[in-house]
Amino acid sequence: MTPKKRRELIDKLKELLRSKGYVEDKFGNFKMSEKLRYKFNPNALRKEVRLISGEWMRVRSGFYKDLVVTEEGKIQGMR
């Protein structure tokens, strides 16, 4: 995946999350509540939940090269 295509996909993913009510925090993560967030890493998108201890645990993730935003507004390619 070229850097330009990666940037376009990341922008599309961020716009999708905003449309679903997620808010970007100062670290670039998208949160809907204090218990669920999407984290944008350099090569992958991670969906994480907060544990009782306060740590974040990965639920699903996917490399940008494997991710697709469907016409229904869903993210495919996360495992």
Give the bridge partners for 4, in sequence order: none
pLDDT at 57 over 90: yes
Considering the entire predicted model, what is its pTM?
Answer: 0.91
Percentage of the chain exceeding pLDDT 70: 100
Mean pLDDT of the chain: 96
Residue 39 has pLDDT above 90, yes or no: yes
Q: How sure is the predictor about 1, in pLDDT bands with cuts at 50, 70 and 90?
A: confident
Query: What domain range is 62 assigned to?
Result: 3-76
Distance of CA 44 to the CA centre of its chain: 8
β-strand 30-33 against 36-40: which pairing, if any? antiparallel
Domain count, the chain: 1
